[in-house]
Chain A
Amino acid sequence: MENFFNLILEPLDQLFMRFKMFVPNFLAMLVILLLGYVLAYLIKRFLVKFLTAIKFDSWSDRMGFTKLMRHGNLWGKPSMLLGNIVFWVLLFLTLMSGLSALQIAVIDALVSQFFSYIPRIFSAAIIMIVGFVFSRFISRAVLIAAANSGFHYAKLLADAVSTLLLVLIVAMVMEQLQIAPVIVLAAFSIIFGGIVSALVIAFGVGGIHAARRIIEKDVLDKDKEETKDEIEHI
């Protein structure tokens, strides 16, 4: 009979022992989450105030970030959006740290995988931001240059350049994040290669006569120069 009770109590005892070991970990996770939440909230508040002070919103309005937000149907301030992104990223990091405090093997593996992925996310974000600013700059430069040259489709050309650069940047970001890299590479090669081939054909076929004229003029000019040289030597 005693054995029978032992058979019943032993698992319960083991369960209780596991529970005793789990509770401190669980409490540690709750404390980490609570502290993380408070810290993330404070950092968000500070960041939003800082960005407002340096007129980040106004800068975003001029650089086109705000328009990008509106395209995504986001109607808050850019500084608030950035604050919210930082808040949720920090909260996510806190959640990961909290989960690792539970000391469960499967979760530990998941957390370590996540942390090893973070550098990629950072570099992708930097590529995205720098690339976007760069594309805006180039697009503006093309617009001004084309408009000053009297080109009728200056806006269209600037938009096309901007779109191409954005395609390139998105491909780079996806590659960095290792999201279906083979498909991204193939798709990018096909799209970019296709566009370049189309341009080559368009300019090649359409510009045969213009190219011939330019080359002939060049050759003619050289001939003239050579003739001039000969006379001078004589």
Chain B
Amino acid sequence: MTDFYQTGVITTLHQLGISSLERLESELYGFGKVRPIALVLPALYSEFEGPAMPGIIKELSKVKYLNEIVLALDSASESQFQHVRELMAPIPTEVKIIHNKGKRITEVYETLARNGIEVGAQGKGRSVWMMYGYVLARGRSDVIALHDCDIVTYNRELLARLCYPVANPNLDYVFCKGFYSRISHKMNGRVTRLLVTPLVRSLQKLVGPHDFLAFLDSFRYALSGEFCMTTDLARVNRIPWDWGLEVGTLAEVHRNYSPRRVCQVDIATTYEHKHQILSPDDASKGLMKMAVDICKSVFRTLASEGVVFSDGLFKSLLVTYLRHAEDTIMKYEADATINGLDFDRHEEAKAVETFTRAIAMAAQAYTENPMSTPLIPNWNRVVAAIPDILEMLKMAVEEDNK
């Protein structure tokens, strides 16, 4: 249980008292009639072979308030696609699977490419964007919820709490982000704890008060992969195809809507998923790659809002960040100690060193090419270029799922 303190410029919805899943679900069932809810799931075939996806399917089989489920399947052959269809069959809600490697969806991607719509490489960002497109093409849902498919500790309360603030017409939120404590026998969530928060606070110190930085700092877990939004937002939002997906999405939400209509909700007491390696010497994979992409996304967003990044600012940022991150390590060490959690200070310091290098690399990349953007255009822009694209996408998915 947490306190009820409200932090930052957005609303925080805590988990207070004893929660009642039955009450939440019955209310969501009613809201679903006014604002039908779609759940979109970006998945790899390998996640169906691990422990996460079978558990998620089992939980989703008990959910009655969803209007539709759309799953984007990556890295799967035709036979694996058919196998996934069989695995998803027990879910009572209508399930549609976007087979990213399938003949028809490949042709949809080619149609986009030849019309100058850059949708990036295979990954969560591209899959999420495609699923939004499909939900928009069908036009049957008003709310879109999204969560990862590698959550080992998944239960349906997570989904209910995630959907509730946007699905409830009386609350009037257009975007809701999930948060949770990343605790096992130790503290996880290194990128959020040791990169994003110290980086944002360092930037606040250097560039002064800034709306976007205040907005970003308001999120308790800015990198959580679980969020819920209205379909209107899904239509106008651009999505980054790289690891800047979460930060980039927040930047787009900040750009398009008032923080008053944005909230974060406590969705789980425990959360465990697939961990990434740190990869301190290779910036093309692991947390290092993630850190570089996130930093680039933050720099570009700030630059687009008028912040001037000079060589001196970047140099000061590195030093300021390092000091903030070292102070943060001490805070978390104390927090871990009082809660009896393992805390490897050396590993934490190594992570900070890696992230410092990542900031420097991102700064260099930004300086060399400030205009480079990994954002996939929003669906309004795509439809303006290819008027029939949504219908084509709908036909492709319907044919694949016959």
Contact = CB atoms under 8 A, between A and B. Distances in A.
Interface of A: 55, 57-58, 61-62, 64, 66-67, 70-71, 73, 75-77
Given A58-B114, A61-B115, A66-B111, A73 B392 contact: no
Contacts, number: 36
A54 B331 CA distance: 63
A67 B114 contact: no
A76 B106 CA distance: 10
B111 A61 contact: yes
Given A61-B115, A66-B392, A76 B107 contact: yes
A61 B116 CA distance: 12
B388 A64 contact: yes
B395 interface: yes
Contacts of B89: none
Contacts of B115: 58, 61-62
Contacts of A58: 114-115
Contacts of B386: 61-62
Nearest to A65: B388
Nearest to B388: A67
B114 A70 contact: no
B399 interface: yes
B395 A71 contact: yes
A76 B114 CA distance: 13
B103 interface: yes
Interface in B105-121: 107, 110-111, 114-115
Given A73-B399, A75-B103, A75-B107, 11 more contacts: A61-B111, A61-B115, A61-B388, A61-B389, A64-B387, A66-B111, A66-B392, A67-B388, A70-B396, A75-B396, A76-B107
A207 B107 CA distance: 49
A41 B68 CA distance: 47
A90 to B, nearest CB: 26
Contacts of A64: 387-388
Contact of A75 (B104, B385, B387, B389): B104
Given A61-B115, A75-B103, A67 B110 contact: no
12 contacts: A55-B114, A57-B111, A58-B115, A61-B111, A61-B115, A61-B386, A61-B388, A64-B387, A70-B392, A75-B107, A75-B396, A77-B107
Interface in B242-291: none
A67 B386 CA distance: 10
Which of A55, A57, A70 gathers the greatest number of chain B CB atoms within 10 Å?
A70
B305 interface: no
Contacts of A61: 111, 114-115, 386, 388-389
A182 B82 CA distance: 49
B399 A67 contact: no
Contacts of A67: 388, 391-392
B194 to A, nearest CB: 46
B103 A66 contact: no
B294 to A, nearest CB: 35
B387 A70 contact: no
Contacts of A66: 111, 388, 392
B320 to A, nearest CB: 48
Interface in B361-397: 385-389, 391-392, 395-396
Nearest to B399: A73
Interface string B27-65: 000000000000000000000000000000000000000
A62 B387 contact: yes
Contact of B114 (A57, A71, A73, A75): A57
B363 to A, nearest CB: 38
Contacts of A75: 103-104, 107, 396
Nearest to B105: A75
Nearest to A67: B388
A109 B234 CA distance: 64
Interface in B291-315: none
A76 B387 CA distance: 18
A174 to B, nearest CB: 26
Nearest to B392: A70
Contacts of B388: 61, 64, 66-67
Nearest to B110: A77
- 5 A-B pairs with least C-beta separation: A67-B388, A75-B107, A70-B395, A75-B104, A61-B386
